[in-house]
């Protein structure tokens, strides 16, 4: 992919596509000896890009369909001229126009031949199949197309890199061109990431269009749990009473009281979602008799969503704690307070909180504040300051303590009315009872995995031992050679 030497700016001589950056820039050439970079397009992104390049010390020439009108919009130091004139002056060209305008550039096909074209475009929606960069490469086969800078916003470029991501993902079928653009990104103050061939441009172009991709499953599971529990709570507290013809339907309590009940159940349900896949993974490994076989796809995705589920659990629990403080009184939680009495002389003796109320609050507060510890330990800076054993202790053992405390908190809430007949008048079980089903199953499964006969087998498998099956030789392991086991 080399080409003959030619002069592109003053007396600067370029020998290869990457030579003009990888040699002159690294040697600390002055601004006047740096190669001229061209930008095709005069939109907002082009102006921000020109400003960033000028600040980085590169001569910049902008190719516009109407240079006279757009010249005043660009920073001083950037020359605005016609597209053909801009392309003729530079060896590296930023293509900052929309995909539908690519065919218009074919008028300068000959001038663009043997040049590096940096495609910075994005689409309005994730496109299946051919990417913008691949389409550009098809239109200009004599040029070398590099996908880069599309994940960097115009704001990041114009704000002096004070905000936004500093990573620039670079892909191209030409290794030298890819290294050239990566070096240019470094000179501009960014952190380039080599994504390989131009085929990877499909993934790079999808990055700005994805909204919290790692949170999708966690959000769906959490929202689904909340909606189910809210509807269930409203049925028992509002809908059934209306159907049954009972007077004084408490519609006014929906915004706080009934929503808070649903949030309480949602928090403990999400916390169960965090630790359920780990227990299921143990049983899958026991069933397979090896750790070298992939988990089912649904379980693999669930395992990867545990951090997001944990943070959502903390968020929901925080709202529940705040709402509980606002409404915690004998009017809402009468079972946890002694009755207020009036003495014979007219004095009022206010009922104090019972043991159930105090222990209910105690276990809830402990669960919440330990959950905050779990959330803080998930912060990257905190995680990096912990060794592996500390991190495992906090996220593993301490997390199970939080689950036990939260479950106990919920059990104490209804311990004195757990089998009271009035709970079942709506032909359904109480909300706190249905909330306890999932954590109870989870704790039971965890106890099974802690049994010596089970835990010893799980530990052996995780150290590399494999069960003997037809067609596969058993490979015992003493815990010191796990890395030497042969993967299936």
DSSP state string for 422-445:
GGGTTSS--HHHHHHHHHHHHHHH
Task: Specify the length of the chain in residues.
Answer: 488
Q: Is residue 479 part of a domain?
A: no
pLDDT at 273: 97
pLDDT at 16: 46
On whether both 128 and 234 belong to a single domain, the answer is no
Q: Is residue 473 part of a domain?
A: no
Angle between helix 259-288 and helix 399-413 axes, rounded to 10 deg? 130
On whether both 94 and 180 belong to a single domain, the answer is yes
Q: Is residue 72 part of a domain?
A: yes
Residue 40 tokens read as 């095709």
| Distance (Å, whole) CA 173 – CA 119 | 13
| Distance (Å, whole) CA 385 – CA 337 | 45
Interval 91-121: pLDDT, tens: 899 999 999 999 999 999 999 999 999 999 9
pLDDT at 470: 60
Identify which has the larger pLDDT, 3 or 60: 60
Report the mean per-residue pLDDT for the chain: 87
| Distance (Å, whole) CA 120 – CA 161 | 17
What is the pLDDT averaged over residues 126-152? Answer: 94
Does residue 265 have a pLDDT over 50? yes
| Distance (Å, whole) CA 104 – CA 173 | 24
Helix (H, G, I), strand (E, B) or coil at 344: coil
What is the pLDDT averaged over residues 49-70? Answer: 93
On whether both 202 and 222 belong to a single domain, the answer is no
Interval 15-48: pLDDT, tens: 344 444 444 444 444 444 688 999 999 999 999 9
What percentage of the chain carries pLDDT values higher than 70?
Answer: 88
On whether both 73 and 49 belong to a single domain, the answer is yes
Nearest C-alpha neighbor of 132 from the set 124, 141, 121, 117: 121
Q: What is the CATH number of the domain that holds 422?
A: 1.20.120
Q: Is 122 exposed, middle or buried (0-12, 13-18, 19+ CB in 10 A)?
A: middle
What is the pLDDT averaged over residues 350-356? Answer: 86
On whether both 273 and 185 belong to a single domain, the answer is no
Q: Is residue 283 part of a domain?
A: yes
Residue 444 vs residues 167, 271, 382, 404, 448: alpha-carbon distances, Å: 45, 15, 32, 12, 6
| Distance (Å, whole) CA 187 – CA 183 | 6
On whether both 326 and 380 belong to a single domain, the answer is yes
- Binned at pLDDT 50, 70 and 90, residue 404 comes out as very high
Interval 192-204: pLDDT, tens: 999 999 999 999 9
What is the pLDDT averaged over residues 381-387? Answer: 90
Identify which has the larger pLDDT, 260 or 471: 260
| Distance (Å, whole) CA 480 – CA 482 | 6
What percentage of the chain carries pLDDT values higher than 90?
Answer: 68
pLDDT at 155: 86
On whether both 113 and 202 belong to a single domain, the answer is yes
Does residue 426 have a pLDDT over 80? yes
pLDDT at 13: 40
Interval 301-343: pLDDT, tens: 999 999 999 999 999 999 999 999 999 888 888 888 888 887 7
Beta bridge pairs of residue 169: 193
| Distance (Å, whole) CA 468 – CA 464 | 13
Helix (H, G, I), strand (E, B) or coil at 159: coil
Residue 263, Cα to own-chain centre: how many angstroms? Answer: 23
Q: What is the CATH number of the domain that holds 140?
A: 3.40.50.720
On whether both 198 and 218 belong to a single domain, the answer is no
Residue 251, Cα to own-chain centre: how many angstroms? Answer: 38
φ, ψ (nearest 5 deg) of residue 328: -70, 110
Q: Is residue 332 part of a domain?
A: yes
Domain boundary pick from 160, 181, 209: 209
* 464: CB partners within 8 A, 6+ apart: 291, 475, 477, 481, 482, 483, 484, 485
Q: Is 32 exposed, middle or buried (0-12, 13-18, 19+ CB in 10 A)?
A: exposed
Number of H helices, E strands in the chain: 20, 12
Q: How many domains does the chain have?
A: 2
- Vertex 446: Cα angle to 442 and 452 (nearest 5): 160
On whether both 291 and 425 belong to a single domain, the answer is yes
Q: Is residue 480 part of a domain?
A: no
Interval 188-244: pLDDT, tens: 999 999 999 999 999 999 998 888 888 999 999 999 999 999 999 999 999 999 998
Residue 418 vs residues 156, 218, 423: alpha-carbon distances, Å: 58, 31, 8
Segments forming the whole domain that contains residue 324: 213-450
pLDDT at 341: 81
What is the pLDDT averaged over residues 366-390? Answer: 92
φ, ψ (nearest 5 deg) of residue 486: -85, 125
Q: Is residue 133 part of a domain?
A: yes
Nearest C-alpha neighbor of 438 from the set 476, 467, 406: 406
Identify which has the larger pLDDT, 354 or 32: 354
pLDDT at 488: 27
On whether both 200 and 252 belong to a single domain, the answer is no
pLDDT at 333: 86
Does residue 476 have a pLDDT over 60? no
Q: Is residue 205 part of a domain?
A: yes
pLDDT at 359: 94
Question: H or E segment at 170?
Answer: strand 167-170
On whether both 166 and 276 belong to a single domain, the answer is no
Domain boundary pick from 159, 183, 209: 209
On whether both 437 and 291 belong to a single domain, the answer is yes
Does residue 487 have a pLDDT over 50? no
Does residue 473 have a pLDDT over 90? no
Domain boundary pick from 188, 209, 230: 209
């Amino acid at each position: 992919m080399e080409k003959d030497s030619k002069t592109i700016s003053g007396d600067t001589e370029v020998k290869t596509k990457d030579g003009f950056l990888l040699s002159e820039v690294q040697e600390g050439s002055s601004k006047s000896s740096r190669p001229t970079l061209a930008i095709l397009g005069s939109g907002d992104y082009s102006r921000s890009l020109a400003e960033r390049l000028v600040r980085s010390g590169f001569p910049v020439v902008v190719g516009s369909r109407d240079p006279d009108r757009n010249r005043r919009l660009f920073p001083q130091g950037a020359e605005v001229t016609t597209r053909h004139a801009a392309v003729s002056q530079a060896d590296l060209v930023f293509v900052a126009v929309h995909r539908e305008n690519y065919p218009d550039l074919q008028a300068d096909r000959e001038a663009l031949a043997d040049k590096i074209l940096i495609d910075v475009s994005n689409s309005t929606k994730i496109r299946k199949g051919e990417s913008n960069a691949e389409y550009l490469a098809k239109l200009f086969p004599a040029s070398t197309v590099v996908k880069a800078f599309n994940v960097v916003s115009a704001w990041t470029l114009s704000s002096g890199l004070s905000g936004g991501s500093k990573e620039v993902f670079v892909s191209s079928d030409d290794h030298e061109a890819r290294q050239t653009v990566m070096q240019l990104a470094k000179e501009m103050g960014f952190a380039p990431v080599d994504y390989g061939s131009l085929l990877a441009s499909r993934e790079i172009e999808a990055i700005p269009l994805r909204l919290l991709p790692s949170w999708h499953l966690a959000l769906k599971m959490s929202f689904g749990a909340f909606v189910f529990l809210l509807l269930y709570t409203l049925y028992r507290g509002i809908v059934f009473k209306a159907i049954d013809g009972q007077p004084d339907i408490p519609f006014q309590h929906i915004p706080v009281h009934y929503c808070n009940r649903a949030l309480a159940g949602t928090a403990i349900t999400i916390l169960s979602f965090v630790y359920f896949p780990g227990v299921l993974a143990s049983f899958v490994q026991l069933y397979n008799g090896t750790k070298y076989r992939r988990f089912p796809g649904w379980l693999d995705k669930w395992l990867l969503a545990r951090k997001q589920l944990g943070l959502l659990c903390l968020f929901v629990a925080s709202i529940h704690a705040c709402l509980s403080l606002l409404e915690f009184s004998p009017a809402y939680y009468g079972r946890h307070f002694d009755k207020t009495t009036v003495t014979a002389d007219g004095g009022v003796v206010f009922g104090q909180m019972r043991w159930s109320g105090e222990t209910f609050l105690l276990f809830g507060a402990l669960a919440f504040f330990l959950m905050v510890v779990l959330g803080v330990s998930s912060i990257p800076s905190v995680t990096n300051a912990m060794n592996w054993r500390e991190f495992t202790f906090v996220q593993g053992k301490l997390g199970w303590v939080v689950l036990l405390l939260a479950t106990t908190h919920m059990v104490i809430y209804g311990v004195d009315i757990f089998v009271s007949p009035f709970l079942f008048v709506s032909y359904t079980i109480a909300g706190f009872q249905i909330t306890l089903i999932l954590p109870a199953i989870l704790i039971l499964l965890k106890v099974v995995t802690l049994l010596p006969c089970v835990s010893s087998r799980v530990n052996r498998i995780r150290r590399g031992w494999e069960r003997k099956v037809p067609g596969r030789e058993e490979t015992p392991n003493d815990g010191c050679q796990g890395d030497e086991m042969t993967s299936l």
